[in-house]
């Protein structure tokens, strides 16, 4: 009787897939990659057509020996690694590492988008050859990353400290984060005012709340207390009249099913999951979980995808489920999916449940809390994507007070549609009761109360993992499989730090980014990195030869590295000497960079191990007690300013203080680029530093 060997990547899939196949099938795992370029060298022969050198990964010898034994007993081998570029490359490496070309056996590549009995059996009926376009795209990406890492990292070691690294996607991502931090630091708040008014309506107990809109010339942004007082004085003498009542309707389209990026963003927003946690849990749901009454089965489709496409079978099943459980009017008239862009790998479906009938309520007893919460989010999003739009009744009212205009608006859900399963927004009714007040053009209005309020514009928000993923995706940096590892690596290298959900650049990250911008501007150039990703997609589509990209990239990189070694010789001082004397051996201590930023160390290491915190002076006096202001680091590495006499003096500021006093209120001012801004939240006076000098 024939014997078949199926090789997958993950041991977690083995049990699931074995259950679907008969006794004639042996299922084994490669545990990821089995070959890679050596760590001890570049691993690319630049003299001979940029040919990569591959060796067996340390520790994978036993895995390969086991696979060879299993292969000898099999008549046919199925390479069933993941359905993406990385998976295709693993199959290709297995083919060569196991010397399948020398075996008198049939070898076929199979892929499945979900680990269910139907999908696995269907894949066996549609075997194919290894797609070398996908393999070459992965090889090119790996080689470009290796070139950047192995050529630039030694420059960082030499100029800053050992153990640092640069990366093609990593460095571009760090640049994006640093640019946002620079925007925040340079941001100058602008004053503006809002005005709400309560109006009594004939026959109504509750007042009508309206907002100031502008005047006969159009919408107005009020930017000063003086202007607001002028408006308040004018409307106090005027009668309020309804100028226009406009009823209407609006629809809100259902969301698209999840891609890798949108899943990470929504899991961060709704579940407070990190990018890494979301992917780890999704991997478990994809590879197989124990479901009561069904055994081990994959409950979602493949988790790395750019596509929102859904198979006809899954689409039909979802529509039938919605019609039966919610009604025909809840079924969307069309699938609602957008057409794939040029860069989308449309071979994959969106992330969806493998069986729409397995509701979150049914699976709750079989899943851990976090697995359940993520599955519920995926199920609800997919179900919503096949449902009708939500329909709102709306009403807007325009009210005049002399030449000034006020507005009120409200909306009320008439038909909840997809919101019945996926509430991606609060069901707000706007101005309470507006829809039921029975307003007409003749309704008599009387001004009861006004509520002016001062505001200041806010700086751009710090990145969170979710918004950083969105920014990387929008700018074409990396791909779904690279987002989580990139963020994880930046955190591990301590180039960035997290406080709560927010991401901040550390001193070390700032130094590395500045050096990369100066010495390797192309590598951190967002457009260049995005264009390179587009070229790799062209390789996957068979339109460009992979070695053309590699051979064009390397010479320019090598030249930049040689230039950097010469020109950066005096830019970064590795060990800046200080006046601080080591109490152990009498040497002048030097400034070094550590995981948490700068610190003082004895240059006599390893004979002398003495280190101490670096009290870096900001060069200004404390606004409260006159002591020195010191630059300190939070536990996560974020920079802040406090007094040398802390904790006796409680002065603290995220922005560098100035010794200048606010000309309006006398509070201390802080530096924002070439401006000084008052630290008093109620004042916020801005002064140009150049005028002071």
Please give the span between the terminal C-alpha atoms of the chain, in angstroms, as a whole number.
91
Q: How many residues does the chain have?
A: 693
Residues 6+ apart with CB under 8 A from 296: 15, 16, 19, 288, 289, 290
Name the DSSP letter for residue 656. Answer: P
- Contact (Cβ atoms closer than 8 angstroms) between residue 537 and residue 341: no
CB count, 10 Å around CB of 101?
Answer: 8
Q: In what order do the strands lie in the sheet with 668-672?
A: 657-661, 668-672, 675-678, 686-688
What is the spatial distance between Cα 540 and Cα 135, in angstroms, rounded to a whole number?
A: 8
Helices (H), 288-421: 312-325, 360-363, 369-385
What is the spatial distance between Cα 228 and Cα 222, in angstroms, rounded to a whole number?
A: 7
Check if 302 is active-site.
Answer: yes
Catalytic-role residue among 4, 78, 95, 302: 302
* Nearest by Cα to 395 from 426, 452, 427, 440: 440
CA-to-CA separations, 428 to 380, 410, 421, 425, 432, in angstroms, rounded: 21, 8, 17, 8, 9
- Helix, strand and coil percent figures for the chain, each rounded to 5: 35, 25, 40
State which H helix or E strand residue 675 sits in. strand 675-678
- Contact (Cβ atoms closer than 8 angstroms) between residue 685 and residue 660: no
Tokens read off for 572: 């970064």
Whose tokens are 């205009």? That residue is 405
What is the spatial distance between Cα 449 and Cα 319, in angstroms, rounded to a whole number?
A: 52
Helix (H, G, I), strand (E, B) or coil at 637: coil
What is the spatial distance between Cα 353 and Cα 530, in angstroms, rounded to a whole number?
A: 32
- Contact (Cβ atoms closer than 8 angstroms) between residue 273 and residue 463: no
Q: Respond yes or no on whether the N-terminal peptide bond of residue 335 is cis (omega within 30° of 0).
A: no
Exposure pattern of 390-421 as b/e (b: 16+ CB <10 Å)?
A: bebebbbbbbbbeebbbbbbbbeeeebbbbbb
What is the spatial distance between Cα 551 and Cα 558, in angstroms, rounded to a whole number?
A: 11
What is the spatial distance between Cα 666 and Cα 679, in angstroms, rounded to a whole number?
A: 10
What is the spatial distance between Cα 277 and Cα 267, in angstroms, rounded to a whole number?
A: 9
The alpha carbon of 347 is separated from its chain's Cα centroid by a whole number of angstroms, namely: 23
To 10 degrees, what angle do helices 465-474 and 480-492 make? 130
What is the spatial distance between Cα 356 and Cα 322, in angstroms, rounded to a whole number?
A: 9
3-state secondary structure 406-467: EEEEEEEEEECHHHHCCCCCCCCCCCCCHHHCCCCCCCCEEEEEEEEEEEECCCCCCCEHHH
Tokens read off for 392: 């709102």
What is the spatial distance between Cα 393 and Cα 436, in angstroms, rounded to a whole number?
A: 12
CA-to-CA separations, 364 to 284, 292, 415, in angstroms, rounded: 15, 10, 29
- Contact (Cβ atoms closer than 8 angstroms) between residue 405 and residue 309: no
Residues taking part in catalysis: 302
């Amino acid at each position: 009787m024939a014997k078949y060997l199926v090789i997958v990547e993950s041991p977690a899939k083995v049990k699931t897939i074995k259950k679907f196949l008969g006794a004639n099938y042996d299922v084994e795992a490669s545990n990821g990659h089995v070959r890679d370029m050596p760590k001890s060298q570049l691993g690319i022969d630049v003299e001979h057509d940029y040919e990569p050198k591959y060796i067996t990964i340390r520790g994978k010898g036993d895995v390969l020996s086991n696979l060879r034994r299993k292969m000898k007993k099999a008549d046919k081998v199925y390479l069933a690694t993941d359905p993406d570029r990385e998976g295709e490359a693993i199959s290709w490496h297995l083919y060569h590492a196991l010397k399948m070309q020398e075996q008198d056996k049939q070898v076929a590549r199979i892929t499945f988008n979900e680990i269910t009995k139907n999908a696995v059996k269907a894949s066996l009926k549609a075997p194919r050859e290894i797609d070398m376009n996908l393999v070459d795209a992965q090889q090119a990406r790996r080689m470009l990353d290796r070139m950047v890492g192995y050529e630039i990292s030694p420059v960082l070691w030499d100029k800053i400290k050992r153990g640092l690294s640069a990366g093609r996607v990593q460095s571009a991502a760090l640049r994006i984060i640093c640019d946002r931090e620079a925007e925040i630091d340079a941001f100058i708040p602008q004053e503006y005012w809002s005005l709400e008014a309560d109006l009594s309506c004939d026959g109504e107990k509750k007042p009508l709340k309206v907002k100031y809109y502008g005047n006969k010339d159009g919408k107005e942004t009020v930017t000063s207390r003086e202007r607001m007082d002028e408006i308040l004085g004018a409307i106090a003498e005027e009668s309020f009249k309804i100028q226009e009542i406009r009823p209407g309707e609006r629809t809100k389209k259902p969301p698209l099913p999840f891609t890798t990026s949108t899943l990470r963003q929504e899991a961060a927003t709704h579940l407070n999951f990190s990018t890494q946690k979301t992917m780890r849990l999704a991997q478990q749901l994809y590879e197989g979980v124990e479901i009561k009454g069904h055994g081990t089965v994959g409950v979602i489709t493949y988790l790395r995808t750019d596509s929102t496409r859904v198979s006809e079978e899954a689409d039909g099943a979802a529509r039938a489920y919605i019609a039966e459980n919610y009604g025909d009017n809840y079924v969307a008239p069309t699938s609602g999916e957008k057409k794939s862009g040029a860069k989308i790998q449309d071979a994959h479906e969106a992330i969806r449940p493998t069986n729409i009938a397995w509701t979150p309520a049914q699976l709750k007893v079989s899943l851990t809390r976090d697995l359940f919460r993520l599955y519920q989010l995926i199920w609800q999003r997919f179900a919503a994507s096949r449902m009708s739009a939500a329909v709102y009744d709306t009403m807007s009212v325009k009210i005049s007070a002399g030449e000034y205009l006020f507005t009120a608006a409200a909306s009320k859900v008439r038909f909840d549609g997809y919101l019945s399963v996926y509430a991606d927004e609060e069901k707000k009714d706007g101005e309470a009761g507006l829809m039921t007040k029975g307003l007409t053009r003749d309704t008599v209005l009387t001004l009861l109360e006004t509520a002016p309020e001062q505001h200041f514009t806010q700086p751009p928000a710090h990145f969170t993992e979710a918004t950083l993923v969105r920014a990387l995706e929008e700018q074409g940096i990396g791909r779904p499989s690279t987002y989580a590892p990139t963020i994880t690596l930046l955190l591990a290298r301590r180039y960035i730090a997290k406080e709560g959900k927010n991401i901040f650049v550390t001193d070390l990250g700032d130094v590395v980014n500045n050096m990369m911008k100066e010495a390797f501007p192309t590598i951190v150039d967002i457009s260049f990195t995005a264009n390179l990703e587009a070229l790799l997609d062209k390789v996957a589509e068979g339109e460009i030869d992979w070695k053309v990209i590699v051979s064009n990239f390397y010479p320019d990189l090598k030249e930049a590295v040689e230039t950097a070694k010469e020109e950066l010789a005096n830019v970064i001082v590795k060990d800046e000497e200080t006046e601080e004397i080591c109490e152990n051996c009498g040497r002048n201590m030097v400034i070094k960079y550590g995981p948490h930023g700068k610190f003082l160390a004895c240059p006599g290491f390893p004979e002398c191990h003495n280190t101490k915190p670096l009290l870096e002076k900001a060069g200004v006096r404390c606004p409260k007690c006159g002591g020195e202001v010191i630059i300190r680091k939070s536990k996560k590495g974020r920079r802040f300013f406090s007094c040398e006499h802390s904790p006796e003096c409680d002065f603290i500021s995220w922005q560098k203080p100035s010794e200048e006093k606010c000309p309006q209120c006398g509070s201390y001012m802080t530096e924002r680029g070439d401006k000084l801004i008052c630290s008093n939240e109620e004042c916020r006076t801005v002064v140009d530093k150049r005028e002071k000098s």
